[in-house]
Amino acid sequence: MAIISVLIEQLFILVAHAISGIYSSNLKYSKKTTFVIWSIWLVLQGCLWCFGEFVINDIGMKFFSIFISAFILQYIVFFATTKGKLSQRLFTILTYSVFFCIFMAFNTVIQGTFPGMNIVIRLIVLCALLIGILYYFLNFVCPLCRVASKSMVAGWYPLVFVNVIFVITLVAISVFPVKIASIYEPGFISLLFLSISIFAVYPVIFSNIKNMTEVAMKRETEQQNKLLLLQIENENLQMAADRMARHDRRHHNLVLLEFANKNDIETVKDYLKTLVDDDSDSLGKINYCKNPTINTVLSVYEKKAKNAGIKVKISARAGNDIPVSPKDMVIVIANLFENAINATKKLKSKEKIIDVDIREKETRLLVKIENPCKTNLKFDEADYGIGISSVIATTEKYEGMYDFTAQDGTFSSKVCLNY
């Protein structure tokens, strides 16, 4: 019965390792493939553990087959099945190792304090400890880590170093030089306070990173919006200047008439050529719809797209009196259009074309921008950048809806603003 209990205990631990590896980071392969890989690891590791526990008598070899091999193989499989920043993944797996060290220390203490504990109760306690550790790791630490990763370009290695220090300290307190095997031993209090401190450290670190990131994103978003509005204002000034030039054309006509009366034909021809060229430039400005803000934004970013070698198909139907502030229209349309340009110009094999559709429908303004993307592109909330976050905040301001999807090689951004 004791052997069966030990086997079940080891099985629980191996399954916990596999769950932490599968659900803690972004997967490189499909979930089905990842499950198969970790299942193979679980069987192999179980065989190595049984071989070391029941066949090998040498303490050194037993330690290697049971503990060192498990550590090495677990890390190899984890890095082979996940993707992302190496430093971040190393931090993630080391964080789990820290929590597992805490679990092992307290499991040893419980068994030493209650040596006559019923086997079933001991397995229940073991399972409860593992579930608690996994729940905290997967539902608190990993989400905070993913949020922080959106803004942390560097800085993971110092956190990795912190985890290494935690592991060394835990081992030093609970295993060497004296193994803590009971709650009545003096070192247990130090182990307890150290464990509580470790559990508290991660939320504090990532909460501070999150707060600093949000402040930085807000500042950068405000700066970006100011630049966008300045660009739109410059375009409006240019359009106003063009209108003024056309208004002043009548004065030029008077001059032309005077040259014509004097039979100065060559001067008239040169003057007319200049006016025709100016009019051609003015007529080249397309009015997509009646709304001047939407026209200007589309004009600005259509130029950017064409300069990047990207074709643009635009359909816009919106009136001049939309009850959406020009600033908010700029934030939504400009950010989505700019994201589409940045994504499209990176592609090589696909046809570079952006499809823009803006329309009023009853009391809503609908914006849809589509651009080609990689066929296997996976997109989720973790990929939201500053521009998308700004669009979402503006959409929520109007109690609207948004949707960002990548399917069949097309990335689609859809926003609905309610009046």
Confidence of residue 150 (pLDDT cuts 50, 70, 90): low
Least confident of 6-15, 65-74, 391-400, 410-419: 65-74
Residue 35 scores a pLDDT above 90: yes
Confidence class for position 312, pLDDT limits 50, 70, 90: very high
Q: What is the pLDDT of residues 96-138, one digit of tens each?
A: 999 999 999 998 899 889 888 888 898 899 999 999 999 999 9
- Asked if pLDDT for residue 286 goes beyond 70, the answer is no
pLDDT for 282 equals 47
In contact, 316 and 279? CB cutoff 8 Å: no
Q: Which amino acid is present at 13?
A: I
Average pLDDT, the chain: 82
Kindly tell me if the per-residue pLDDT of 328 is higher than 80: yes
* The pLDDT value given to residue 283: 39
Task: Report residue 378 as tokens.
Answer: 């996976």
Q: Is there a contact between 375 and 354 (Cβ–Cβ < 8 Å)? A: no
By DSSP bridging, strand 410-418 and strand 364-372 are antiparallel
Reported confidence tier of residue 355, pLDDT bands at 50, 70, 90: very high
Please answer whether residues 160 and 145 qualify as being in contact, where contact means their C-beta atoms are separated by less than 8 angstroms.
no
pLDDT digits (tens, 9 = 90+) for 49-99: 888 777 777 776 776 777 777 788 899 999 999 988 888 899 999 999 999
Query: What are the angstrom distances between the C-alpha of 255 and each of 244, 252, 263, 269?
Result: 17, 5, 13, 13
pLDDT of residue 330: 85
* Other residues' Cβ atoms within 10 Å of the Cβ of residue 143: 12
Q: How would residue 385 be classed by pLDDT, with cut points 50, 70 and 90?
A: low
- Section 23-30 average pLDDT: 90
Whole-number pLDDT of residue 179: 82
Phi, psi for residue 44 in degrees, rounded to 5: -60, -45
Tell me how far apart the alpha carbons of residues 62 and 73 are, in angstroms, rounded to a whole number. Answer: 16
Q: What percent of the chain has pLDDT over 90?
A: 28
d(CA 412, CA 409) in angstroms, rounded, equals 10
Say which residue, 256 or 19, is predicted with more confidence. 19
pLDDT tens-digit readout, 257-273? 666 777 777 776 776 67
Q: Examine residue 177 and say whether the peptide bond preceding it is cis (omega within 30 degrees of 0).
A: yes
CB-neighbour burial class of residue 218 (10 A; exposed 0-12, middle 13-18, buried 19+):
middle
Mean pLDDT of 376-398: 74
Give pLDDT, residue 36: 94
Q: Give SS3 for 40.
A: helix
Mean of the pLDDT values across residues 22-42? 92
Question: What is the spatial distance between Cα 184 and Cα 29, in angstroms, rounded to a whole number?
Answer: 48
Say what the pLDDT of residue 232 is: 66
Answer whether 19's CB lies under 8 Å from 42's CB.
no
Contact partners, residue 144, CB within 8 Å, separation at least 6: 202, 203, 206, 207, 210
User: In the prediction, which pLDDT does 284 show?
Assistant: 42
Give the tens place of pLDDT for each residue, 167-191. 999 988 887 777 888 888 888 998 9
367 has pLDDT over 60: yes
Specify the length of the chain in residues: 419
pLDDT at 280: 46
DSSP structure string for 402-416: EEEEEETTEEEEEEE
Res 215: pLDDT: 65
Is the pTM of the predicted complex or chain greater than 0.75?
Answer: no
Strand order of the sheet with strand 401-407? 311-317, 353-361, 364-372, 410-418, 401-407
- Judge contact between 145 and 92, C-beta under 8 A: yes
